[in-house]
């Protein structure tokens, strides 16, 4: 089984559209949408929900207003400004915790002299297994304001592996999160291969450098493709130079294609919507290049 | 007045809007300060070419255990919600990269054997681009405590009357940290299915945080589509529609300001700023 | 001798879990009393971070002499090394088979961590 993670560093470069295209081209696979903050992969198709489960991570403090005596120790000790009390302008009751600010450290819970603070598990989202036209999709949503520590990403990946193992399919295709933080780390570590999707802009190049560093740090071999390359030949050249310097194989230059948005609106991949456009040809060539690179390598995965 | 520029979806043009709006305000003679709070992938400086007066490291306190004083009672490890400590018969180990700097361990230690020591979160650069004051945070690669660095960025003192904050994309806690305490949020979206989906997430967040907000549609199309209908159905203020122009996209790609590439875009940003000046500041 | 083996199920016939921190069960085997005990590792499965730290602390608490595992991350490895617990690489297969391989002397000691690299 091979795991391909598609990342970008910069958001909006076209990761999800590339994953959707590969899903239309690959034979047998499980899809994982690890952009749990703003998942979009389920929008490209009309998947049927098969399984859902709620997701807890850490705890959140809750002060019982009936027990609270207003000593203010909790507010003193809280390092996250999550507790407000009577002398704050907007408070009318005893001390209370703002859940969006609460870090879940438990310090107030531990040190409250009355034991007025409970510490329930924090539900922070849900994950799902759906059946999409081309294959199964594991995805998730994080509640707004939740901490995106990567735990949800890890769960989505693990479920995708489990599913791929039980279905005996050779590919797990991961739509990675943007950025270079914890969620990306959780998506990249242990992956077999990464495809870094960039765009020809200063920001695109800047963030490509950071995500390339991250992939290298975790020992994940990386390939690069430039989306909407024709929007700036100058920046495309600079990105190509960067790839040469870092010995990162550049496997595709996808031209800007207005039909991408139409395909999105029509809820299908570009391959299904406009198979003869140039961008679709490049995506096909990219997928075949990936297949060639990975054929014959050890596909056994723990 | 503190104005944040945010977006559910990445790549919709947050930084483009933040940078151009701040520049439009600065060029109109106001005192303006732009804070780049997208500390994982800060990009505003690529357009502003700022001159920095000061760059400094930001640290977060992490426990250091005095092994000689430690009685191996395990109270610190038992309290730690983040598994950053392990109390063994011969030594108490600390895992700094798991630590959330809550202070619980050094508070609870009966022997006062634990002291806080700073570990690097990243760095802040402070300077200006012409008349525009500028502060940027950059997270150390591999660091997990993103909101802590954003807090430090926002805490940099500013005399400016107009403060703009370029938020990270999405709706999770780094965005919450950035938006906390602002007077107004500009949500930047694009007229695509993904853009609409993620705009809806962002709208949920700003409503939950009880913040006034308006929408800017970037790469707008000639005919209004689902995004416009959504805004109308939700009763949202659309402050601007910036049409897609290849020439502007290319100029931005190469680090130029959209308002300098196209006078119409310049007029749009000046108009948005004027709109903002006419809104009441929330007390 | 006390050994711990991460497992997908509570019985020696169940498969070794290649992960350590997020294994479903930790099976403790006491060769002196010839007993085994399965500990539910729900806390580790559920942990937001530091699952390996939690599991390693558990192994030390149990007074184990050795851990047989497919993977062991750097933090868990530090804890076990500091506590003098040996870490051996366990093959895939049943827990019982891993034990047998241990007695045959077939399982090498890990000198460096070999984590899967997940959180």
Three-state SS for B180? coil
B94/C81 Cα distance (integer angstroms): 14
Of the given ranges (A54-68, A72-86, A145-159, C69-83), which has the lowest mean pLDDT?
A145-159
pLDDT for position A85: 87
Domain boundary among A119, A149, A169: A119
Whether the CB-CB separation of A2 and A190 falls below 8 Å is answered with no
Q: Is the pLDDT of residue A130 over 70?
A: yes
Whether the CB-CB separation of B66 and B115 falls below 8 Å is answered with yes
Question: Which one of A40, A144, A178 has the shortest CB-CB distance to B197?
Answer: A40
Residues A200 and A76 in one domain: no
Is B98–C50 a contact, with Cβ atoms under 8 angstroms apart?
Answer: yes
Any idea where the domains of chain B sit in the sequence? Answer: 2-58+123-277, 67-112
Residues A133 and A255 in one domain: yes
B204/B171 Cα distance (integer angstroms): 9
- Output DSSP code: residue A195: E
pTM of the model: 0.90
pLDDT for position B169: 92
Whether the CB-CB separation of B84 and B119 falls below 8 Å is answered with no
Three-state SS for A219? coil
Give me the residues paired with residue B54 across strands: B126
Interface check B86 vs C, CB under 8 A: yes
Question: Which one of A56, A57, A190 has the shortest CB-CB distance to C118?
Answer: A190
Is C46–A56 a contact, with Cβ atoms under 8 angstroms apart?
Answer: yes
Rg (CA), chain A: 23
In a domain, C50, yes or no: yes
What's the average model confidence in pLDDT over A184-204? Answer: 93
- Strand segments, DSSP code E, in C1-119 are 2-7, 25-30, 35-40, 66-69, 86-89
Q: Is the pLDDT of residue B58 over 60?
A: yes
Q: Where does the pLDDT of residue A91 fall: very low under 50, low under 70, confident under 90, or very high at 90 and above?
A: low
| Phi, psi of B75, rounded to the nearest 5 degrees | -60, -40
> What's the gap between Cα B237 and its chain centre?
22
Interface check A182 vs B, CB under 8 A: yes
Q: Which residues contact A36 (CB under 8 A, 6 or more apart)?
A: A125, A139, A140, A141, A142, A148, A152, A153, A156, A177, A183
A68/A116 Cα distance (integer angstroms): 6
pLDDT for position A300: 41
Q: What is the CATH number of the domain that holds A179?
A: 3.40.50.300
Host H or E run for residue A120: none
Is C116–A190 a contact, with Cβ atoms under 8 angstroms apart?
Answer: yes
Q: Please count the structural domains in chain A.
A: 2
Q: What is the CATH number of the domain that holds C26?
A: 3.30.420.130
Which tokens belong to C25? 């069960």
Question: Taking CA A26 as the corner, what is the angle to CA A22 and CA A29, rounded to the nearest 5 degrees?
Answer: 100
Q: Is the pLDDT of residue A262 over 60?
A: yes
ipTM score assigned to the predicted complex? 0.88
| Phi, psi of A209, rounded to the nearest 5 degrees | -60, -45
Q: Is the pLDDT of residue A148 over 80?
A: no
Which tokens belong to A29? 């696979």
A131/A31 Cα distance (integer angstroms): 10
B126/B10 Cα distance (integer angstroms): 25
HSE (CB half, 13 Å, CA atoms) of A180? 28
Give me the residues paired with residue B92 across strands: B87
Q: Is the pLDDT of residue A250 over 80?
A: yes
Interface of B with C in 87-106 (CB under 8 A): 87-91, 93, 95, 98
Q: Is the pLDDT of residue B283 over 60?
A: no
Per-residue pLDDT tens listing for chain C (119 residues): 999 999 999 999 999 988 899 899 999 999 999 899 999 998 888 888 889 999 999 999 999 999 999 889 899 999 999 999 999 999 889 999 999 999 899 899 998 888 765 44
Whether the CB-CB separation of A193 and A22 falls below 8 Å is answered with no
Q: What is the CATH number of the domain that holds A107?
A: 3.30.70.20
Whether the CB-CB separation of B141 and A180 falls below 8 Å is answered with yes
Residues A175 and A50 in one domain: yes
Q: How far is CA A197 from CA A93, A218, B38, B91, B225, in A?
A: 51, 18, 20, 46, 28
| DSSP-derived pairing of the beta strands C35-40 and C25-30 | antiparallel
Is C83–B98 a contact, with Cβ atoms under 8 angstroms apart?
Answer: no
- Output DSSP code: residue A273: H
Is B95–C60 a contact, with Cβ atoms under 8 angstroms apart?
Answer: no
Q: Is the pLDDT of residue A173 over 80?
A: yes
Is A11–B11 a contact, with Cβ atoms under 8 angstroms apart?
Answer: yes
Residues A87 and A185 in one domain: no
Is A302–C48 a contact, with Cβ atoms under 8 angstroms apart?
Answer: no
The count of CB pairs under 8 A between chains A and C is: 31
Helices (H), B173-254: 173-179, 193-208, 226-234, 246-253
C62/C81 Cα distance (integer angstroms): 15
Summarised one tens digit per residue, pLDDT across range C74-101 is: 999 999 999 999 999 998 899 999 999 9
Interface check A169 vs B, CB under 8 A: no
Q: Is the pLDDT of residue A21 over 90?
A: yes
| DSSP-derived pairing of the beta strands B2-6 and A250-254 | unpaired
Summarised one tens digit per residue, pLDDT across range B5-16 is: 999 988 999 999
Place of tokens 């006078």: B263
Summarised one tens digit per residue, pLDDT across range B72-104 is: 999 999 999 999 999 998 899 999 989 999 999
Interface of B with C in 204-223 (CB under 8 A): none
Question: Which one of A13, A111, A234 has the shortest CB-CB distance to B11?
Answer: A13
Summarised one tens digit per residue, pLDDT across range B133-169 is: 999 999 998 788 999 999 999 999 999 999 999 999 9
Q: Please count the structural domains in chain C.
A: 1
In a domain, A274, yes or no: yes
Summarised one tens digit per residue, pLDDT across range A265-299 is: 999 999 999 999 999 999 999 999 999 999 876 54
C89/C70 Cα distance (integer angstroms): 5
Please give the residue range of the domain that contains residue C67.
2-103
In a domain, C79, yes or no: yes
In a domain, A189, yes or no: yes
pLDDT for position B90: 87
Host H or E run for residue B187: strand B184-189
Whether the CB-CB separation of A127 and A153 falls below 8 Å is answered with no
Residues A143 and A211 in one domain: yes
CATH 3.30.70.20 assigned to domain B67-112? The reply is: yes
- Output DSSP code: residue B167: P
Which tokens belong to C6? 């991460």
Question: Which one of A107, A204, A264 has the shortest CB-CB distance to B102?
Answer: A107
In a domain, C9, yes or no: yes
Question: Which one of B77, B91, B95 has the shortest CB-CB distance to C82?
Answer: B91
Indicate the class that CATH gives domain B2-58+123-277.
Answer: alpha beta
Whether the CB-CB separation of B14 and B6 falls below 8 Å is answered with yes
Please give the residue range of the domain that contains residue A135.
2-56+125-294
Residues A131 and A17 in one domain: yes
Q: Is the pLDDT of residue A301 over 70?
A: no
């Amino acid at each position: 089984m091979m795991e391909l993670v598609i990342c970008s560093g910069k958001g909006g470069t076209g990761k999800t559209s590339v994953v959707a295209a590969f899903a239309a081209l690959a034979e047998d696979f499980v899809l994982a949408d690890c952009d749990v903050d703003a998942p979009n992969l389920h929008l490209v198709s009309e998947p049927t929900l098969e399984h859902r489960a709620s997701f807890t991570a850490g705890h959140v403090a809750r002060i019982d207003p009936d027990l609270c005596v207003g000593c203010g120790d909790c507010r003193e000790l809280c390092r996250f400004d999550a507790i407000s009390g009577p002398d704050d302008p907007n408070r009318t009751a005893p001390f209370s915790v703002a859940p969006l600010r609460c870090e879940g450290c438990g310090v107030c819970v531990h040190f409250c002299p009355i034991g007025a603070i409970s510490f329930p598990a924090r539900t922070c989202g849900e994950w799902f297994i759906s059946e999409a036209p081309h294959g199964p999709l594991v995805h998730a949503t994080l509640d707004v304001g939740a901490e995106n520590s990567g735990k949800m990403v890890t769960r989505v990946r693990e479920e995708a592996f489990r599913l791929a193992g039980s279905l005996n399919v050779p590919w797990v295709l991961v739509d990675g999160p943007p950025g270079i933080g914890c969620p990306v780390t959780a998506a990249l570590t242990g992956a077999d291969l990464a495809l870094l999707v960039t765009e020809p802009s200063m920001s695109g190049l800047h963030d490509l450098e950071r995500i390339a560093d991250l992939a290298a740090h975790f020992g994940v071999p990386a390939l690069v493709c430039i989306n909407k390359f024709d929007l700036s030949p100058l920046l495309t050249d600079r990105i190509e130079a960067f790839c040469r310097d870092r010995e990162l194989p550049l496997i595709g230059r996808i031209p800007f294609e207005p039909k991408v948005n139409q395909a999105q609106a029509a809820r299908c991949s570009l391959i299904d919507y406009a198979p003869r456009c140039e961008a679709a040809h490049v995506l096909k060539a990219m997928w075949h290049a990936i297949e060639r690179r990975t054929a014959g390598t050890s596909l056994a995965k723990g | 007045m503190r104005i944040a520029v945010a977006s559910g979806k990445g790549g919709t043009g947050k930084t483009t809007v933040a940078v151009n709006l701040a520049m439009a305000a600065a060029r109109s003679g106001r005192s303006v300060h732009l804070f780049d709070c997208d500390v994982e992938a800060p990009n505003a400086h690529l357009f502003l070419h700022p001159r920095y007066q000061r760059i400094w490291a930001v640290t977060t306190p992490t426990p250091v255990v005095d092994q000689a004083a430690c009685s191996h009672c395990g109270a610190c490890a038992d309290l730690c919600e983040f598994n950053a400590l392990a109390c063994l018969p011969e030594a108490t180990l600390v895992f700094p990269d798991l630590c959330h700097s809550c202070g619980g361990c050094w508070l609870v230690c009966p022997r006062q054997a634990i002291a806080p020591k700073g570990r690097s979160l990243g760095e802040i650069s402070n300077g200006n681009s012409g008349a525009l004051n500028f502060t940027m945070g950059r997270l150390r690669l591999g660091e997990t405590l993103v909101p802590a660095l954003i807090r430090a960025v926002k805490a940099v003192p500013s005399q400016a009357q107009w403060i703009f904050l370029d938020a990270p994309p999405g709706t999770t806690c780094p965005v919450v940290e950035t938006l906390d305490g602002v007077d107004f949020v500009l949500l930047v979206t694009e007229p695509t299915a993904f853009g609409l989906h993620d705009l809806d997430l962002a709208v949920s967040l700003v409503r939950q945080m009880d913040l006034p907000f308006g929408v800017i549609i970037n790469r707008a199309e000639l005919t209004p589509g689902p995004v416009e209908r959504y805004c109308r159905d939700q009763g949202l203020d659309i402050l601007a529609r910036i049409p897609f122009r290849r020439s502007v996209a290319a100029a931005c790609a190469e680090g130029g300001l959209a308002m300098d590439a196209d006078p119409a875009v310049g007029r749009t940003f000046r108009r948005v700023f004027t709109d903002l000046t006419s809104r009441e500041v929330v007390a | 001798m006390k050994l711990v083996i991460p497992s997908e199920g509570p019985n020696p016939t169940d498969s070794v879990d290649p992960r350590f921190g997020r294994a479903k069960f930790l099976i403790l085997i006491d060769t002196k009393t010839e007993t085994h005990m399965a500990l539910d590792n729900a806390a580790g499965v559920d942990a937001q971070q530091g699952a390996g730290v939690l599991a390693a602390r558990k192994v030390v608490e149990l007074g184990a002499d050795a851990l047989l595992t497919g993977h062991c991350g750097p933090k868990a490895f530090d804890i076990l090394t500091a506590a003098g617990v040996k870490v051996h690489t366990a093959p895939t297969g049943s827990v019982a088979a891993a034990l047998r391989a241990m007695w045959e002397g077939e399982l090498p000691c890990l000198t460096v961590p070999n984590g899967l690299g997940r959180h």
